[in-house]
């Protein structure tokens, strides 16, 4: 066994202390945290802008539908996956007419979602918007479903729901009375 100049054996010598690298871990952690926070903020700002854009577009589309009727089948506003026929669109228009003009539109509320599905038509980025309305005969709600189709938002579906169903029941009763009157009067 050899001894060094201090009189200790070689295996008893402690190596010199290394400099602490904790400061670099702290700096790296801070940089990572700032990067993640920036990404989250940027994503939040983009989402907020997209929601605002969909809200405005939904209100514009709702006014168009309620004042001029739903666009005809084949209109460029509809997504490729839009599954309605022209007779169905015409029926929606007739029902809307029974409830009268819209007197007040509420503020649209929208939510965004992205989904992946084996069915291609159910995959993509979607926005679901709801607008409260007041018509001459009933309060209601318009729901508009949007789909991002090749960098443009297209309508995937829309629904107009009225709270007072008696309006349509009254129309049905009138139609029944007219039918009975024609059946009873055989000219």
Hey, CA dihedral for 181, 184, 185, 187, is it positive or negative?
positive
Please provide the DSSP assignment of 72-123 as one string. PTT-TTB-TT----HHHHHHHHHHHHHT--EEEE---EEEEEEE--SSGGG-
Q: Is the pTM of this model over 0.75?
A: no
pLDDT (tens digit per residue) in 84-121: 899 999 988 988 888 889 999 999 999 888 888 887 77
Contact 121, 81 (CB under 8 A): yes
Give φ, ψ of 133 to 5 degrees: -135, 160
Q: Quick one: pLDDT band at residue 18, thresholds 50, 70, 90? A: confident
pLDDT (tens digit per residue) in 128-174: 999 999 999 889 999 999 998 878 899 999 999 998 877 777 766 66
């Amino acid at each position: 066994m050899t001894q060094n100049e201090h009189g200790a054996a070689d295996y008893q010598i402690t190596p010199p202390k290394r400099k602490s690298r904790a400061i670099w871990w702290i700096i790296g952690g801070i940089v990572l945290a700032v990067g993640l926070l920036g990404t989250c903020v940027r994503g939040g700002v983009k989402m907020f802008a997209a929601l605002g854009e969909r809200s405005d577009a939904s209100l514009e589309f709702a006014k168009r539908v309620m004042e001029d009727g739903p666009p005809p089948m084949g209109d460029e506003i509809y997504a490729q996956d839009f599954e309605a026929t022209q007779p169905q669109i015409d029926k929606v228009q007739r029902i809307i007419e029974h409830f009268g003009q819209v007197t007040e539109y509420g503020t649209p509320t929208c939510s965004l979602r992205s989904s992946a599905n084996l069915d291609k038509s159910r995959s993509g980025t979607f926005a679901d918007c709801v607008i409260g309305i007041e018509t001459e005969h009933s309060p209601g709600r318009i729901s508009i479903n949007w789909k991002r189709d090749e960098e443009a938002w297209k309508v995937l579906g829309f629904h107009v729901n009225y709270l007072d169903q008696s309006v349509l029941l009254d129309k049905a009763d009138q139609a029944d009375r007219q039918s009975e009157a024609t059946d009873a009067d055989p000219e």
